[in-house]
Every structure is written in C-alpha cells, then in structure tokens.
Amino acid sequence: MVHVEESLQIPRDFEGFGEEGFNPQWPNGAQIAVSFVLNYEEGGERNVLDGDPISEPYLWEKGASGGGREGRHVNGEQDFEYGSRAASWRILRLFKEFGWNFTTYAVAYALKRNPTYAKALVREGHEIACHGLRWLDIWDYSLEEDKAYIAENIKVLHEVTGEMPVGAYFGRGTPNTRALFPEVWKSLGGEFLWSSECYNDDVPYWLDLPWEADKPESEKEGMLMIPYNYDCNDGKFHMSPGFGSSVAETYENYLKNTFDCLYREGGKMMNIPLHTRIIGKPGRSEALRKFMKYIADKPGVWVTTRRDIAKHMRDKFPYKPNGAWQEGKKE
C-alpha cells in the first residue's frame, strides 16, 4: 500500500506564472535554453540474474509485442546491452562533434556496470544526476526505505564517477520521494541544486516547501524545480501513441516544431529526453543529429546542463519565499 506522508505533500498549483509569464533571463541574452537528458538505465532494469522474476519488458525494440513473460528473456536483455555496449559511445561521439554537454539521469547500478563509460561522461563534462538505485518502481516503499534508497543512489554514483550529484529525477518514486531529496542530500554532506520531478511548465521555478513554513525566512531554502517532459521523449518510439519505431523523421520534425515555438516565444527551456538503447540506434541517432544541426545554426541558443541552469537561477533569481524571488533578481 502506498504511504502518503502528509507533512511532505506539496500542494498543486494551477496558475503558475499566469498571463505575464516568467523570463529566466538566460546568460548572454540567449533566446532559449536547451537541455538534452540522457537516461542511462542499462544494467539497472529488471533481470532474472539480479533476482527479479522477469526480464524487463518495458521500452525496448519489440515493445508491447515483446511480451512480459516470466523468467529470463535474452532478446530483451540484449537490446538493453546494445545501449551500453554500442549506443552509449555513439551518443558520446555525437555530442563531442557539437561540443555540447548533456545531463545524465543515471541509474546507479547501471552506471556501476559500465565504469569506463561513467568516467568518460565525467571526462567530457557531462552532468551525472540521480535516476534511482535501480530502474524499478518504488511506489510502495516506507518513508525510511525511501530515504535509504535515495542515499544509496547518491553514494554509488559518487563512488563510480568521483563526482557528487547535485540533482535528481526518479520518475518512479513514492508520493514522498521528491520531498525527501533536500533532506537526504544534506544528511550526506552534499549540495542539492535541482529536482526535475515536475512536468508543469516550460521554465524553472522555486518551490516553497510546506515543512519550512514555520522557519525564520532566513533559514528557508525552498527547492528549485527544472521541469521535465514526456512529449519530446524518445521513449515514445516504443509507446502508443508514439513516434513510430521506424519513422525517425516524425521525431525530428516534432523536435523542430517544439524548438520553433519555444524559440519564438523566448525565455523558455526545451527538454530533449534520450535513452541510449533507443536514440542510439543508427537510424534514430541520425535524426537527432539533423535536429542538432538545425538548432546549431540559430543564434541565441544555450545548450546546457541542468546543473548550469540551476546555477544560473541561483545567481540571477536566488530563492525568497512566497514568490518574492521573482522580484529579487540580481542586476
């Protein structure tokens, strides 16, 4: 049964920034911030050899037609292995070609099983963020199990990469997980800069934390939210409705349309969620490359990591409670 800790629940907000909106004032007058996110999950998914009853049936080439059979399913396993063995390096080469950095949503046990790639990510300047200890649903965890799971995720990534992560996106947590991030990071002596456990805007924003309500204003820290999305997610190649597993041009055009809208509006950010075993297939990676060339030719495009978006927000719009941070920008 799902445990909902009432003191950790964050109210819903249906109004946001309203008609006037919010302009993050990106560095150097950039018109848009583009955040590529690589979900690295291969080796952290369900597998019989790791004590699970089935091999992972979700988000691989055969999709729903692959079936969720009991026991070991080697075909599915090897599609995940393609992601770590071949596609991961193709993606690294692609971003090196453009000189851009991405944020890695890293499943800890997955990255631990490919330490060479973990070190290459750090070497090339890509950000490592927490994406769970394993690629599993933890929706029924108790509060203490939840905290321990987050802490172990942080510790393993720190051990494997040599870097302390500063942000997180689990996507498969409990109703309490996102609220626990600041507390767990602090308990390990780390700095928590951002969470992406939200999908409700096109710009970052500060969140007032209910459990800080009685603290003096000078002690309130809030939590910086950097929204994520599903609509530009390459996982839709394996979802219905989706991009279609053999129609990479549909994906390319959708990314271009999304970019064009946000670029025209100005002061927005665009998320491009990727998975090694999906976008790293040759036909799809070529479509991604065409999109990258498309935006590389535009002025005022800031391709960046979520870590640097967080640093920008903290410098330009430091947190103040009750929305006062919007008026508190540094000039």
Q: What is the pLDDT of residue 242?
A: 76
Using DSSP bridges, classify how beta strands 127-130 and 103-106 pair: parallel, antiparallel or unpaired: parallel
Dist. CA 36–CA 27, nearest whole Å: 18
Over residues 74-98, the pLDDT tens digits come to 888 899 999 999 999 999 999 999 9
Higher pLDDT: 52 or 134? It is 134
49 has a pLDDT exceeding 80:
yes
Confidence class of residue 41 from pLDDT cuts 50, 70 and 90? very high
Q: What is the pLDDT of residue 216?
A: 93
Residue 5 dihedral angles phi and psi, to the nearest 5°: -85, 105
Domains annotated on the chain, with CATH: 24-326 (3.20.20.370)
From the list 168, 173, 296, the residue with the least C-alpha distance to 225 is 168
Confidence class of residue 7 from pLDDT cuts 50, 70 and 90? confident
3 has a pLDDT exceeding 90:
no
Q: What is the DSSP string of 236-274?
A: GGGSSSSS-TT-HHHHHHHHHHHHHHHHHH-SEEEEEEE
Over residues 144-179, the pLDDT tens digits come to 999 999 999 999 999 999 999 999 999 999 999 999
Confidence class of residue 68 from pLDDT cuts 50, 70 and 90? low
Q: What is the pLDDT of residue 239?
A: 82
247 has a pLDDT exceeding 80:
no
Over residues 94-113, the pLDDT tens digits come to 999 999 999 999 999 999 99
Q: pTM value? A: 0.94
Query: Are residues 317 and 325 in contact, defined by beta-carbon separation less than 8 angstroms?
Result: yes
Q: What is the mean pLDDT of residues 237-259?
A: 85
Q: What is the pLDDT of residue 176?
A: 95
Q: What is the pLDDT of residue 331?
A: 44
Higher pLDDT: 76 or 200? It is 200
Q: Which segment of 40-54, 84-98, 110-124 scores lowest on mean pLDDT? A: 40-54
241 has a pLDDT exceeding 80:
no
Q: What is the pLDDT of residue 112?
A: 97
Q: What is the mean pLDDT of residues 177-204?
A: 97
Cis peptide leading into 241, omega within 30 of 0? yes
Report the percentage of the chain scoring pLDDT > 90. Answer: 80
From the list 233, 276, 245, the residue with the least C-alpha distance to 85 is 276
Confidence class of residue 328 from pLDDT cuts 50, 70 and 90? low
Q: What is the mean pLDDT of residues 45-62?
A: 86
Q: What is the pLDDT of residue 326?
A: 92
